[in-house]
A and B are shown apart, each in its own frame.
Chain A
Amino acid sequence: METENISDISYEKYLNEDKLMGSRCKKCGELYAPPRPICIKCYGTDMELVEMKGDGKLAAFTCISVGPPFMVEEGFDRKNPYCVGVVELEEGTRVDARIEGVDTGKPETIKVGMPVSVHFLHREKNNTQITYLAFKPK
């Protein structure tokens, strides 16, 4: 079997297949998500891709009213803010993601520490499929 490249490109390719991937160092066992090609703990280079379960808790968040053009195109603005956050996965690593299914008009109701699970958001841009990593409250 051909060894797979461990990179941001493969990370995104797997997101398109509804898979949240990390990488594990075969030498020392350290786990990284998003995946790293180099183990920064032992400098081992023999890394394998592993799929994350997709469960975790919300470590921090923000509700953005003034977004970049690609979010404005999706219809987000001052009247309709979107939520992004940092999720601490059960496996112990952190990922950046969009947070769906929360009331962005009432950000004080969104709680740091609440359990969330993964949810893949598919969008099409210039005939190319892109997938945003997202999480929803459990």
Chain B
Amino acid sequence: MLKKRKKLGRGVAVIGAGMSKFGMFRDKDSKDLFAEAFNETIASVDKGVDPNEIEALYLGNFSNDFFVRQAHWGAMISDLIGLAPKPATRTEGACASSALAFREGVFAIASGFYDMVLVGGVEEMSKSSSTEVAEGLALATVPYEGKVGFTFPGVFGVIATAYFAKYGASHRDLMNITIKSHKNAPFNPKSQIPFTVLELMHAKIESLKKKGRPVPEWKNEIDFLSDPGANPSIAWPMHLYDCCPISDGASCMLLVAEDLAKNFTDKPLSVAGIGQGSGRGFHAAPSLTSFEATKNAAEEAYNMSGFKPEDIQFSEVHDCFSIAEIIHTEDLGFFKPGEGFKVAEEGLTALNGPMPINTSGGLKSKGHPVGATGTSQLFEVWKQLRNEAGERQVKKNNLRIGAAHNLGGTGGTCTFTILERK
């Protein structure tokens, strides 16, 4: 009966990508941010492209309805970029919204219906108060969780205590994730917090001195992150430096049928594997220390591409909270269950390590405008595979396979996308 091929009807390639700077912007709205990402995307097409050739838009946005009281962003952005009256579709999968847009765009081309589509995402969060943002994000938790007072950091706090109890990890292991990701941050010009933890520590010392306050004697980053004055608990064991910031931003990519790609660039990336999964929340999840949606996404993407975890040369991994990176690198097969918490300290996931994770600095330092995150992660893969990542370039011989993992909500929607330079 069903064949369950799980292959694309025809190949799809990325020929352009761009993203706005991520940050908290008083004087920029969603349209301004998307325009920044769109202009960079068009300019990134090596042999040029006429934007009139774009046939459709798939746009990820989680909750501008709540954050800035304006919904219906597909049509809004289609007007901005001169696409109307051609179709625009909004996708929503919480923090994985634009990875879903990417996937729908791939399917639209693979089906043979379109030759060229724009995919991307946008989110404008910083104009809401932090309580409002917490409330808005909590809309993406499972109702049984939200109703008893779980917040987003709270959900990941729960996952962390389950992981700690099972594998003997501690908050110190989470600090190593934060320190590692922030080491890449100064090299990313789009980063919201382009500083290492050490630099942030020195900045804090300077500001305390200026205010005439007593300065604690922090010997190193771990010392600094262990001080509840500098790194207060948000949802124990999640502390401030375990959580990504509140951000505004946009990102997008231009996709074409693979057989047309050479008309636009000699360095296209092909979509080798694309997977997605759903998760159920604590009441029904098979495990509290693993994301079933990530596992399903990985299985789909690995099967489609024929690649194995060891073939992936670097990956962006959704690190909305430090514990999330640890567990996802296990679920994606990069490390064994119960091993993921040790690898950052050993340097395995550093920029110059054998398996670089979050060369962009991760959501923790790059920023996490939720609906824009998925395609911004793929933007990093695009930069790396085209050898355009500057000081944060992964220096491996024959760099050709990179991936991005995106998580929505508390694990309700996850994607895993593998791009290949042929």
Task: Point out residues on A near B: beta carbons under 8 Å.
Answer: 8, 33-34, 59-72, 78, 81-82, 84-86, 93-98, 107, 112-113, 132-134
Contacts and interface: CB of A to CB of B under 8 A. Distances in A.
B334 interface: no
Given A64-B154, A69-B131, A96 B144 contact: yes
Interface of B: 130-131, 134-135, 138, 142-151, 153-155, 157-162, 164-165, 232-238, 281-284, 288
A133 B235 CA distance: 20
Contacts, number: 112
A99 to B, nearest CB: 9
A107 B157 CA distance: 11
A60 B165 contact: yes
Nearest to A62: B157
A63 B165 contact: no
B288 A65 contact: no
Contact of A62 (B144, B146, B236): B236
Nearest to B288: A60
B158 A85 contact: yes
Nearest to B289: A60
A8 B130 CA distance: 29
25 contacts: A33-B283, A34-B283, A59-B162, A60-B158, A60-B159, A62-B160, A64-B154, A65-B233, A66-B153, A66-B234, A67-B151, A68-B131, A69-B135, A72-B131, A84-B150, A85-B158, A86-B282, A86-B283, A94-B283, A95-B283, A96-B150, A96-B282, A107-B233, A107-B237, A112-B161
A47 B404 CA distance: 41
Contacts of B147: 132
Given A34-B283, A60-B165, A84 B149 contact: yes
Contacts of A59: 162, 288
